[in-house]
A and B are shown apart, each in its own frame.
Chain A
Amino acid sequence: AQTVTQSQPEMSVQEAETVTLSCTYDTSESNYYLFWYKQPPSRQMILVIRQEAYKQQNATENRFSVNFQKAAKSFSLKISDSQLGDTAMYFCAFIPSYNTDKLIFGTGTRLQVFP
């Protein structure tokens, strides 16, 4: 089955600290796409970062970076210098092969950033 697992339902971090959110996935394909999405209290879902499986280099977007371990099927998100505005639900998602556009999500991690 093509699934995404987020094992941390809730996490918290102090402002300016670093936090890592975990994600594992399952696919038998070698080419696929991985994403992290953020859903703040406003409910508007927005893309945080994207990784193509054939690229060995980990993607980075400002304070957000990923640790992509293809063999382990792991795709964790690191948020550096956490800000109050990072408080949100974070969803890991993937398109499990190049033969589909089906986008599959995990169950989400609720992140609370404290002052």
Chain B
Amino acid sequence: DVKVTQSSRYLVKRTGEKVFLECVQDMDHENMFWYRQDPGLGLRLIYFSYDVKMKEKGDIPEGYSVSREKKERFSLILESASTNQTSMYLCASSSRPAEAFFGQGTRLTVV
């Protein structure tokens, strides 16, 4: 079974903290994605990566950065967390152009 694992299911951080969300996939997929899910807004793409050290901005990259040093791992970084970044974060991976496999999501609360 394909597995996409996100490091935390729930996370609470303080305003101004640097936050790392980690995602690991075990299927040697080229593509990895970070989405943010908010009620009524669906899944909005933050960043995606199509290869190691390669990345492309999605629709809402402001306030976020990413890192992909190894093929299996894709990290989302909130440089200075703010309350408007409280959300559900979903990681996914895919092998073009097949289906995307998703992690369980991380519900992040910034207080």
A and B associate in one complex: yes
Chain B contact residues: helix, strand, loop or mixed: strand
Counting residue pairs across A and B whose Cβ atoms lie within 8 Å, the total is 51
What's the interface size class on B, roughly?
Answer: 20 to 34
CA separation between A93 and B42, bound complex, in Å? Answer: 10
On whether the beta carbons of B97 and A95 are closer than 8 Å, the reply is yes
CB contact under 8 A between A91 and B43, given known A43-B105, A101-B48, A102-B58:
yes
For A35, the closest partner residue in chain B by CB is B99
| Contact pattern, B 68-111, Cβ under 8 Å of A = 1, otherwise 0 | 00000000000000000000101010101101101011000000
Q: Are B102 and A102 in contact (CB under 8 A)?
A: no
Query: With the chains together, A95 CA to B94 CA distance in Å?
Result: 12
CA distance A30 to B59 in the complex (A): 22
Also in contact, A91 and B56, with CB within 8 A (given A47-B99, A101-B48, A101-B97): no
Q: Please state if A103 and B92 are interface contacts (CB–CB under 8 Å).
A: yes
With A9-B40, A43-B105, A45-B90 known as contacts, the answer to whether A104 contacts B45 (CB < 8 A) is yes
Which B residues have a C-beta under 8 Å from some C-beta of A?
30-31, 33, 35, 40-45, 48, 50, 56, 58, 88, 90, 92, 94, 96-97, 99-100, 102, 104-105
